[in-house]
């Protein structure tokens, strides 16, 4: 049964990449290289090291931005979840942010902070923060009251309730909020590189498009998507491993 699933995954990958190859060979567009050409370009970039330099550049704002969002987002989320007053004050802001196309703020950020790293970190932060805050506060608020009552009945202090009941109970949802935040952060990081200044992978994409080196362009896009997907998948596995049996399934986006 396990083999069947793997086999079908490989088969479907083969079909999709095969279709790409065929579409490239027809070709459907002068700007549509074949799968193999793109992979060759990716290999070339890997061998001469350009791709690693580019990722070093791209991941900088992502890592910094996600770290800031995680610290502030979880902190704020805990606070909102625990205090009714802060819930009233801050939740609406993040609910609106979650629904709103925050990418529209980018031109403003560029004006305010220039085209450097600061703006890019900001872009990552505004994309990643809302989901982290909302997941954390929601998880804290939804801690089963029977568990809290149990702790109180065994004479737990408020501090004990927070540290020993609420945070452990909320951690699976907080973690998945973090994962969704990183996913949004990837979107922000790439958006920043394409919109603000082409650096890193964004630079490869923009530059190879301008000189019509389409295989390289597709290779760069393929690699960043693959990287994001693999990384998020690993995170999900870690999540399932860490919180096995504790998964309360909390849909949020």
Given the rule CB under 8 A, which residues bind another protein?
4-5, 8-9, 11-12, 15-16, 29, 31-32, 84-85, 87-93, 95-96, 98-108, 110-112, 183, 186-187, 189-191, 194-195, 201, 205-206, 209, 214, 217-218, 221, 224-225, 228-229, 232-233, 251, 253
Say if residues 228 and 184 touch (Cβ distance below 8 Å). no
CB of 36 to another protein, least distance (A): 17
In the bound state with another protein, the residue whose beta carbon lies nearer, of 30 and 154, is 30
Q: How far is the CB of 63 from another protein (least distance, A)?
A: 15
How far apart CA 169 and CA 147 sit, in angstroms, is: 9
Q: Which two tokens stand for residue 210?
A: 């301008």
Three-state SS at 229: helix
φ, ψ (nearest 5 deg) of residue 24: -70, -30
User: Looking at beta carbons only, is 165 or 216 nearer to another protein?
Assistant: 216
Alpha helix stretches (DSSP H) within the chain: 2-25, 35-47, 50-82, 84-99, 106-113, 117-141, 145-153, 158-160, 167-195, 200-210, 214-242
Q: Which is nearer to another protein, 67 or 232 (CB)?
A: 232
User: How large is the greatest C-alpha to C-alpha distance in the chain, in angstroms?
Assistant: 74
Residue placing its CB nearer to another protein in the complex, 61 or 151 = 61
Check if the beta carbon of residue 196 is closer than 8 Å to that of residue 219. no
Q: Smaller CB distance to another protein: residue 103 or 147?
A: 103
Cα separation, 58 vs 185, whole angstroms: 11
In whole angstroms, the minimum distance from the beta carbon of 209 to another protein comes to 6
Nearest by Cα to 192 from 86, 95, 118: 118
Of 157 and 252, which has the nearer Cβ to another protein? Answer: 252
User: Could you give the CA distance from residue 3 to residue 127 in angstroms, rounded to a whole number?
Assistant: 39
Separation between Cα atoms, residue 226 and residue 39, nearest integer Å: 13
Least Cβ distance, residue 26 to another protein (angstroms): 13
CB of 19 to another protein, least distance (A): 12
Check if the beta carbon of residue 30 is closer than 8 Å to that of residue 171.
Answer: no
Q: How far is the CB of 221 from another protein (least distance, A)?
A: 5
Candidates 125, 135, 139; CA nearest to 177 is 135
Which is closer to another protein, CB of 78 or CB of 109? Answer: 109
Q: What's the min distance (Å) between Cβ of 3 and another protein?
A: 12
């Amino acid at each position: 049964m396990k083999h069947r699933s793997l086999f079908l995954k490989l088969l479907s990958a083969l079909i999709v990449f095969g279709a790409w190859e065929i579409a490239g060979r027809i070709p459907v567009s002068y700007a549509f290289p074949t799968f193999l050409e793109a992979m060759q370009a990716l290999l070339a970039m890997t061998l001469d090291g350009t791709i690693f330099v580019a990722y070093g550049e791209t991941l900088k704002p992502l890592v910094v931005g996600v770290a800031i969002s995680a610290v502030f987002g979880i902190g704020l989320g805990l606070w909102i979840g625990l205090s009714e007053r802060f819930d009233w004050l801050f939740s609406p802001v993040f609910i609106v942010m979650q629904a709103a196309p925050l990418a529209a703020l980018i031109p403003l950020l560029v004006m305010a902070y220039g085209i450097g790293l600061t703006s890019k970190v900001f872009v990552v932060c505004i994309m990643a923060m809302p989901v982290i805050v909302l997941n954390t506060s929601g998880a804290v608020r939804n801690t089963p009251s029977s568990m809290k009552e149990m702790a109180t009945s065994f004479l737990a202090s408020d501090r004990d309730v927070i540290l020993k009941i609420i945070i452990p109970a909320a951690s699976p949802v907080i973690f998945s909020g973090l994962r969704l935040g990183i996913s949004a952060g990837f979107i922000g990081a790439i958006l920043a590189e394409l919109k603000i200044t082409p650096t890193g992978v964004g630079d490869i994409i923009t530059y190879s498009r301008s000189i019509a080196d389409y295989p390289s362009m597709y290779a760069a896009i393929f690699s960043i998507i693959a990287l994001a997907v693999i990384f998020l998948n690993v995170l999900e596995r870690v999540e399932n491993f860490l919180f096995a049996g504790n998964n309360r399934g909390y849909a949020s986006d």
